[in-house]
Amino acid sequence: MATSTAASRRVSAGVGFGIDIGGSGIKGAPVDLGKGELTADRMRIPTPQPSTPDAVAGTVTDLVSSFGDRSGTLPIGVTFPAVIQHGVARTAANVDEAWIGTDVDALLTQRLGRSVVVLNDADAAGLAETRYGAARDVRGVVVVATLGTGIGTAVICDGVLVPNTELGHLEIDGHDAETKAAASARQRESLSWQKWAQRLQRYFGTVENLLWPDLFVVGGGVSRKSAKFLPLLELRTPIVPAALFNDGGIIGAALYAAEHG
């Protein structure tokens, strides 16, 4: 489902609730949709192992309940590390394979007893950066890439999200791109920043030749150290670190729920 600039203008105030499901932790908090800021300290609960649909749904229920009246009847948006088509998980990255084919939207709506909308985790971060962060007021094509265990991507054109782009799985030089260029690859292979930047150069150079974006935004925890690697890249496309860091998924999920719930 796409979000348009016209629709986005209707959400200028109010509060939503965002939940970010990851392989190691599930985080959530209420969000001021006018400012794009959390209105309370986020709660983080370890992702249950095994991370089956029933176990994760139980953890999400506990997380929402922990906020009591502050969650109230707020629209709830949830990110999930998978391709999400009309609420259904089509892949499973860093969660149990039992999720494949699961209607995540319906499951969480049933368990919480209220409407829930679900989207890909990188897409949520992309929406948040476009509305409130590093890509705010940027026209044209924006590519947000989250560098972590893998590479998540979001593509937004003039405020409209193209969901589930999965550009981290481009085949480059015979390899799945994220196996060579994700932040986890730098740690796994003990690469220097310069060596890793050479891989990022190859990756982002390939993406810009495919899409000719107007801006790259780099997210993920490693973006806090962007001064160590972004200046080493030579691209025609401007590339900047994300502004919302680890809160982007929560904020984007809440925003998406307010516009599509």
Tokens of 84: 């999400």
For residue 103, give the DSSP letter. B
pLDDT in tens, 42-100: 999 999 999 999 999 999 999 999 998 666 788 899 999 999 999 999 999 778 999 99
Residue 86: the pLDDT is: 95
Cα–Cα nearest to 55, from 114, 98, 5, 6: 98
Which band of pLDDT confidence, cut at 50, 70 and 90, is reported for residue 13? low
Query: Could you tell me the pTM of the whole model?
Result: 0.92
pLDDT of residue 70: 67
pLDDT confidence of residue 104: 97
29: tokens are 């908090």
Q: Between 22 and 5, name the one with better pLDDT.
A: 22
Cis peptide upstream of residue 50 (ω within 30 degrees of 0): yes
Q: Where are the domains of the chain?
A: 5-123+248-260, 137-243
Distance of CA 230 to the CA centre of its chain: 20
Which tens digit of pLDDT belongs to each residue from 195-221?
999 999 999 999 999 999 999 999 999
Per-residue pLDDT of 227-243, as tens digits, reads 999 999 999 999 999 99
pLDDT band at 8 (very low <50, low <70, confident <90, very high): very low
Instruction: Measure Cα distances from 107 to 18, 31, 54, 115 in Å.
Output: 16, 23, 9, 10
φ, ψ at 54 (rounded to 5°): -65, -45
For residue range 108-122, what is the model confidence (pLDDT) as tens digits?
999 999 999 999 999
Q: What is the enclosing helix (H) or strand (E) of 25?
A: strand 25-32
Tokens of 240: 């900047």
Q: How far apart are the first and last CA of the chain?
A: 12
Identify the DSSP state of 46.
E
Do residues 76 and 115 touch, judged by C-beta distance below 8 A?
yes
CATH superfamily of 137-243: ATPase, nucleotide binding domain (3.30.420.40)
d(CA 140, CA 138): 7
Contact 141, 107 (CB under 8 A): no
pLDDT of 250 higher than 90: yes
> Does this chain's domain 5-123+248-260 share its CATH topology with 137-243?
yes
CB atoms < 10 A from the CB of 259, how many?
A: 20
Cα–Cα distance, 152 to 45 (Å, whole number): 22
**What pLDDT, in 10s, does the model give residues 115-143?**
999 999 999 999 999 999 999 999 999 99
CATH code for the domain defined by 5-123+248-260: 3.30.420.40
